[in-house]
Chain A
Amino acid sequence: MSDDSNGSSTKTAPPRFDGLSCPLPLRDYPNIVLGHGGGGQLSSELVQHLFLPALGNDHLATLGDSTVFEAGGGRFAMSTDSYVVQPLFFPGGSIGELAVNGTVNDLAMSGAKPLYLSAGFIIEEGFPIEQLQQIAERMGAAARRAGVAIIAGDTKVVEKGHGDGCYINTAGIGIVAPGLNIHAGRAQPGDAVLVSGTLGDHGMAIMSARENLSFEAAIESDCAPLHEMVAAIIAACPEVHVLRDPTRGGLAASLNEIAAASGCGIVIEESRLPITLLVQSACEILGLDPLLVANEGKLICIVPEDSAAPVLDAMRASEFGANATRIGTVVADRRKMVLAKTPIGSMRVVAVPIGEQLPRIC
């Protein structure tokens, strides 16, 4: 197996089996497959083998939800994200709120106070103006709610059949207080692992809307801005080690990223995972694992043990953190594994998803 991704070298390197990462290089798939956008191993390989070699620098290499940089004597965070959700409108939100809150949250995960966003629209020929107006109004409302201003924008129209209604890209800039140092690499053995609320709501809201599944009540997306909760966490514990919003790939992908970046293991307790009955039922029906399902208004927070209680109190007191709870502990483990203790007292590995999660047959 050649260790460069264009295959031109004849030098062979032994396959790597570090943790759960895949030893096979990118060229395994000659074309982009859907899984490359799934937030799992395939996405990560695309970044590692294609984007980082071409674009890499010290800032980009941190691979956080947002990147902190210094300029003109100030400290800032920057982030960008594209939104291609279908359906465009779903229980609990729309692509408009997502496009604002998603980028606000990515900034907040560096401890930043979000300030300004840009918005780029790629619209398919034939898309109803009325829907575009609704999306824009919802974006405006979400931006006002989050206290950010959209100060730059762009519109492109592509021919019918070349897009799927409406795609939105937003980028954002926020300001970071001096002294904050929040990133995945800082998790330490003994730290407490907290989540801000129920898991899997957004992904299952989208899936249920797509598959026309109806339950006694609709599953609503948890789409929400988290920067105020982050400010409360920082006030309770300026030393906070890690913040992460578990979007694509769900809790499993985020915890594995934290384990990989910090060189630690993480042990969570399944019976403590906050998952609503509705989401659990929908996952059972579709054969999905709620730990791999996306969230849009939740964060993972890793803090020193003695700060766990005050930080939990701060999270619970904030608007979107009423169900915040502790789910586990960071442990010393060279293999950088995420393990879950099952209700019957056994342990299992919480694996990184490969690409898109595929529904099981029965």
Chain B
Amino acid sequence: MEFRFKTRTKYLINTVAVLALYFFLMFLQGDVLTRYQSKMLIPVGIYIILAVSLNLAAGFLGQLPLGHAGFMSVGAYTAALFTKNVALPIAVSFPLGLLLGGIVAAIFGILIGLPALRLRGDYLAIITLGFSEIIRVIILNLDFTGGAFGLRGITRATDFTSVFICVVITIAVLHMLIKSRHGRAIIAIRENEIAAEATGIPTTYYKTLGFTVSAFFAGIAGGLYAHYLGILDAGTFGFMKSIEILVMVVLGGMGSMIGSVIAATGLTLLPELLRGFDNYRMVIYSLLLVVVMVFKPSGLMGTYDFSLSRSIESIINSRRRKAAKKEGVSHDSHT
């Protein structure tokens, strides 16, 4: 009989693991890491949110959007303008601003997704890129966004804890979404859109849903980003930023959440790790990208789907099998 955890136990294991990770990282920040290194954990978290959310649209829905930075910028400016202009204590306005940023980004997701998702593949990529470039140009030309001078004086409210909470919520929500009838519909569209439609899946609805949820979390990440830097410049949300996020998703493996987490962490830290070779680091980064793709085209993790409780189960099961074997052998010798 194979050993299986009860569902409730699984949730308990995951909760404990998340809390343990939080305290472990807090401990590292207090005693092991330098101030500078501790600060790096924040962009790592922001990029994890961006990569995991893009993976929903790219890896699970199977579309190729190249405008994630556009949604991020919408969320960033919305959240920043909200906390700047609202007479509330930052502890209240910051989470509200993040949520609002996510919602406005999601609205943009619907507005852009509805027309754009009629196109496929590279055409979808280029049209989403076009939309995100237009968002950038508009932000540059508006007054209340600070235009080309950027938006200054944003309270630096993003700290490790807020990023950690957002990362956990993002991953949890996306996981719950993917393992449901809605998630199966989204994956079915990736696998074969015509067959999905023929099995009764409203494909347009689910494409837009996947795209919108993806945009929502990009907006949250944008809000965190704005309150991390304290200043926003529309120029940073160009198509290179979208590509940077896409690279994380593909390198980690399309359709693998853990892959996105690892790739986002690695690629955010890599340039810092290569600081000693300052001049060469971007050259190394780009070469690495080509090499990984040539030798492992499906990304580091493929579509591998990590589950802590499942890993523990398989360890326990293999131990039991070994034990059973031993017992079986000793039985044999007796008879």
Asked if A and B are interacting partners, one says: no
